[in-house]
Amino acid sequence: MIGIRYSNERGAADHEWLQSQHTFSFAGYHDPEHVGVSVLRVINDDKVTPGNGFATHSHRDMEIISYVKKGTIEHKDSMGHVKILPAGEFQLMNAGTGVTHSEYNPSDTEALEFLQIWIQPDVHGIKPGYQQKQFARSEGLQLIVSPDARKGSLLIHQDACLYQLQLNAEQFASLPLEPGRTVYVHVVSGAISVNNEQLREGDGATVKDVDVLEFAGMKNSEALIFDLP
């Protein structure tokens, strides 16, 4: 079973300095039909104007993944991290017992475009943590996040994996699934087919009750694949 969430169906927020599209209910946008998939709660597609960003704010008991599509994030947090997150890098912050942080676009000229992703953890009240990594470009599927940090992936406190899919036109990849798993696919750029269903930039799909996912590139494309309980 595949349920498609088209890009133009997402919620939208316009704060002048921030243009955001919400795959799932978030802040002032609420859609009872789209409040998350399994433990995946937020995918926000954010565009931040030069010199602006999110002032210091707090999180608790959430696994927060950021992926920069264009530009740079300047990150500061209460754990003492002062980091620059450039395009192509992944960041995973475990909020645990509580953390405050800020995220800014330090450029005077270039817009920042990034995905903000929240996944519910399976353990609460643990020590906050921070991870950041640039993965070498790899055609096909590459493991980015896992519950055991295998293959150099970032560690998440949940029975969930995140894969980066990169395909050129007419390239293929497949992902076998264990019984009972739910998958969410989010297209970052380009266009792909998932088990013969076509998805374009910003589109998403929830996939259940299948043994394997078959991906095909319709042009040079990138997607994030969430393997969820």
Domain residues of the chain, as ranges? 2-228
Q: What is the pLDDT along the chain (229 residues), one digit of tens a residue?
A: 999 999 999 999 999 999 999 999 999 999 999 999 999 999 999 999 999 999 999 999 999 999 999 999 999 999 999 999 999 999 999 999 999 999 999 999 999 999 999 999 999 999 999 999 999 888 999 999 999 999 999 999 999 999 999 999 999 999 999 999 999 999 999 999 999 999 999 999 999 999 999 999 999 999 999 999 9
Residue 205, φ and ψ in degrees, nearest 5: -150, 135
- pLDDT value of position 58: 97
- pLDDT value of position 137: 86
Any idea which fold 2-228 has?
A: Jelly Rolls (2.60.120)
Residue 7, φ and ψ in degrees, nearest 5: -55, -45
Rg (CA), the chain: 17
- pLDDT value of position 194: 98
User: What is the enclosing helix (H) or strand (E) of 117?
Assistant: strand 112-119
Task: For the chain, report the end-to-end CA distance as a whole number of angstroms.
Answer: 16
Strand partners, 15: none
